[in-house]
Amino acid sequence: MSSAGRRIEFVDTTMRDGNQSLWSATGLTTPDVLAIAPTVDRVGYHACDFTSSTHMAVSVRFHREDPWERIRLVSEAMPNTPLSMITPGMRFIAWVPAEEDVMGLAFKLVVRHGIRRLQIADPSNDVRRLRRVAELAKAQGMDEVVIGLTYSISDVHTHAYYAQRAAALADCPHMDRLYLKDPGGLLTVDAVRELAPHFVAAAGERTVELHSHCTIGLAPLVYVEGVRAGFEVVHTASGALSRGTSQPEVTATVRNLEASGYTHGLDLEAQALVSEHFNQLARAKRLPAGAPREFDAVYYRHQLPGGMVTTTRRMLEELRRPELFDEVLEEVTRVRAEMGYPILVTPVSQFVASQAARNVIDPERWLNVSDETVRYFLGHYGEFPAP
């Protein structure tokens, strides 16, 4: 696809995915976000990846804040930038799947408080469920519904697998955009080059977006190649909440795309203020800043998303067993295979990582199994990728 002057859009992930990937979703309070929201609104993002039901629960549990009020206040402070919520499908707050009436009510309430865009990423890429969730959201007045296919690598998750599922979404009347979601940062430039035509074809006249993580250092290259291959929107983060296990840093991504002949509509002076705000927060709260990562071929064995890598390390530190981290990652590989190669995205990534930790800490493997993992085996979270 020709690059001559093509304008690329950006979705900001700092407040939701950046916070989750680098600060375990606990780093930002409502005042932290409100202080910079008007400036973010000036940058010119297509949307702001703002919250999830997990983030809403965290705001109550860790900060004693009202998550509904946070959405309302920030949406009022950012009238030009739609706030986006991500959902793994039929689930809201609790790990257990919710009934359709519950999901309909949840969508009604988030729309009422200021969410205008929904990103759907089903942990099993269940096309029927993706389409149904999109329909429920549209029925409650969601302005924009973006359906995602979540990338993974296994004997099951081939390029043909993604081509088939993208094609099955092509005629979905409730889908405004289609996106390729790579929570593990697994995409290579060759893979995105091969997958892009299938997503572009399935989207038709609709826009296609690309979301990856810098976990093994490939995402900045993947974004440039993905745009060359046809993706029109990339997801990026700001300042201390970019890089590392988060998304590529926005201004570096802009430079890379400009060098390749693409244009954008971002106000980079306003963006510099946004980046500095989150840099200052990281210093004030003594929270880690994302840094460029080296390529790590071993990562392809466990494939845990960036947020879960951080959460797993924190969990082991709380249990005073941090020395078990590498062993738990090795166990993740075995548990995932035994569970039929699920895609490691919320909430299934939590189930797999938790079970791996139990298997390492307990006297024998599978001695203790969580209720959520039992529900997974009963099929409550969708179809199994493999027997």
pLDDT in tens, 24-61: 899 999 999 999 999 999 999 999 999 999 999 999 99
Q: pLDDT value at position 4?
A: 56
* 223 confidence band (pLDDT: 50, 70, 90): very high
Given a cut of 90, is residue 347 above it in pLDDT?
no
Q: pLDDT value at position 379?
A: 85
Segment 335-348 shows an average pLDDT of: 88
The pLDDT tens digits of the residues spanning 56-80 come to: 999 999 999 999 999 999 999 999 9
Name 144's bridge partners.
117
- Looking at every residue in the chain, the average pLDDT score rounds to 94
pTM equals 0.92
Q: pLDDT value at position 382?
A: 75
Which regions of the chain carry the CATH code 1.10.472.90?
299-377
Would you identify the CATH topology of the domain 9-285?
Answer: TIM Barrel (3.20.20)
Residue 353 · residue 324 · CB < 8 Å: no
Q: pLDDT value at position 116?
A: 99
Which regions of the chain carry the CATH code 3.20.20.70?
9-285
Q: For every residue of 88-114, which 3-state class applies, written as one string? A: CCCCCCCCCCCCHHHHHHHHHHHHHHC
Distance, CA of 387 to CA of 377 (rounded, Å): 11
Segment 128-132 shows an average pLDDT of: 95
Preceding omega of 183 cis (within 30 degrees of 0): no
Residue of 98, 156, 155 lying closest to 132 (CA atoms): 98
CB-count exposure of residue 143 (10 Å: 0-12, 13-18, 19+): middle
Least confident of 177-181, 298-302, 334-338, 366-370: 298-302
Q: pLDDT value at position 361?
A: 96
Q: What backbone torsions phi and psi does residue 114 show, to the nearest 5 degrees? A: 130, 0
**CATH class for the domain made up of 299-377:** mainly alpha
Given a cut of 90, is residue 131 above it in pLDDT?
yes
Residue 92 · residue 102 · CB < 8 Å: yes
Segment 268-293 shows an average pLDDT of: 98
What six digits make up the tokens of 291? 């840094």
Segment 373-378 shows an average pLDDT of: 90
